Chains A and B, each alone.
Chain A
Amino acid sequence: MNIEWYIVLSSLLFAVGAMGILIRRSPIVILLCLELMLNAGNLALVAFSRMVGNEEGQVFAVIVMVVAACEVVIGLGLIVALYRRKLPLDVDELRTLRG
C-alpha cells in the first residue's frame, strides 16, 4: 500500500475528531474526540516512520500514547470533580472562565 493512503486516512480521522469537538457539548465525548485526533496523529507518525525507514517515528507515537494517557487521567478527574459539585456536564454552561 502506498504511504499516501495512510496519510489521507489519518487526516480524515483528524478532521472527524475536530468536527466532533465542534459539534458535541458533553465533556466526556469531547475527550473521546480528542483521543481520535491524537490517534490520527499517531497514525501519521507511524506512516512517516515507515516511509523514511527508521523507527524514530514509532518512538514518538509511544510518547504520544503516554501523553494521551495523562490527558485522560486529568480530564476524567475534572469530569468527576464537576459531577461531585453538581455542576452541569455541558461545556456551554461552564463558561465562568470566558472573557
Chain B
Amino acid sequence: MEEILFFAAALGALGGAVGVVLMRNPLFGVLALIVHLFSLAVLFLLLTAAFVAAAQVVVYAGAVMVLYVFVVAYVGDDHEPAWEPIPGQRFLAPLLGAALFVELSIAVLGSSLLALGTDGPNVKPGFGDPAAIGTLLLERFLLAFEASSILLLLAAVGAVVLAARRREDGTPSERFAPQASEEGVPSSQ
C-alpha cells in the first residue's frame, strides 16, 4: 500500500515538475505546479510529517498559487518568443540538468549514511503533528521563528514599494494614466 502511494505521488510530482518546465502558457504551468505541490503533500504524509503536509496544501497550493494566478492573469499569458538567443540552449540545458541529477545522486547515495537504506526508526504516534512542531518552533528554534517573521514583514513592505505607482509631484504620470483608467482604478490615492 505504501509503495503504491509513493509511486503514484512520485509520478504526480515528477509529471507536475516536467509540466512546469514544458508548458508554453504560464497559466498551465501554474496548474501543473499545483499538481506537483499536492503530490508532495502526499509524500510528506508518507514521511509522517502531518503538519508540513497541511501547511503545504493550505499555504503553498492555496495562497501562494492564487497569487501566481492573479499575476499571470494580469500580465497576460504568452510573452515568450519562439527564437533562441543562445544557440543550442535547449540541448545543453537538459544535458546540464541530467549531469546535476547524477552528481546529486552520487553525492547523497555515495555518502556513508547507513540509515539511508532503511525505512527510518520507529517513531512515537505524535511524530510531526502540530503540537510537536509548535513546541520546537517556539522553544528550540525561537530565533529562526522571529527572524522569519521579520523577513515576512520586510517582504510585505518590499511588495508595497515595488507595486506602488510612481507619481511625480502628486499628479499621475502620462505613461500610466491611460492604463489606470482602463482598469477602472480610481486615480486619487
Residues of A within 8 A of B119 (CB): 1-3
* Residue-wise interface mask of A (1-14) relative to B, using a CB-CB cutoff of 8 A (1 in contact, 0 not): 11111111101111
Complex: chain A residue closest to B10, CB-CB: A9
Residues of A within 8 A of B109 (CB): 4, 7-8
Chain B interface helix/strand/loop/mixed: helix
Q: How far is the CA of A90 from the CA of B90 in the complex (A)?
A: 16
Per the 8 Å Cβ criterion, residues 8-43 of A in contact with B are: 8-9, 11-20, 22-26, 28-29, 31-33, 35-36, 39, 42-43
Q: Which of B51, B67, B104, B105 contacts A58 (CB 8 A)?
A: B51
CB distance from A79 to the nearest CB of B (A): 6
Q: Given A53-B121, A58-B128, A73-B159, are A84 and B96 also a contact pair (CB < 8 Å)? A: no
| Chain A-chain B contacts (Cβ-Cβ < 8 Å), number | 239
Q: Given A66-B151, A73-B156, are A17 and B2 also a contact pair (CB < 8 Å)? A: no
Q: How far is the CA of A92 from the CA of B133 in the complex (A)?
A: 43
Q: Which of B21, B74, B165 contacts A19 (CB 8 A)?
A: B21
CB distance from B76 to the nearest CB of A (A): 8
Whether B165 contacts A84 by the Cβ 8 Å rule is yes
Whether A56 contacts B148 by the Cβ 8 Å rule is no
Q: How far is the CA of A35 from the CA of B44 in the complex (A)?
A: 16
Size of the chain B interface, CB-CB below 8 angstroms: 89
Whether B133 contacts A59 by the Cβ 8 Å rule is yes
Complex: chain B residue closest to A19, CB-CB: B97
Whether A68 contacts B49 by the Cβ 8 Å rule is no
* Residue-wise interface mask of B (34-58) relative to A, using a CB-CB cutoff of 8 A (1 in contact, 0 not): 0011001001101111011001100
Interface residues of A (CB under 8 A from B): 1-9, 11-20, 22-26, 28-29, 31-33, 35-36, 39, 42-43, 46-47, 49-53, 55-56, 58-59, 61-63, 65-70, 72-74, 76-81, 83-84, 86, 88-90, 92
Selected A-B contacts with CB under 8 Å, 25 pairs: A4-B109, A6-B47, A8-B108, A12-B14, A13-B14, A15-B104, A22-B93, A24-B80, A28-B71, A36-B20, A43-B43, A50-B49, A51-B113, A56-B136, A58-B49, A58-B128, A62-B55, A65-B56, A69-B63, A72-B67, A72-B68, A73-B67, A73-B159, A80-B163, A92-B86
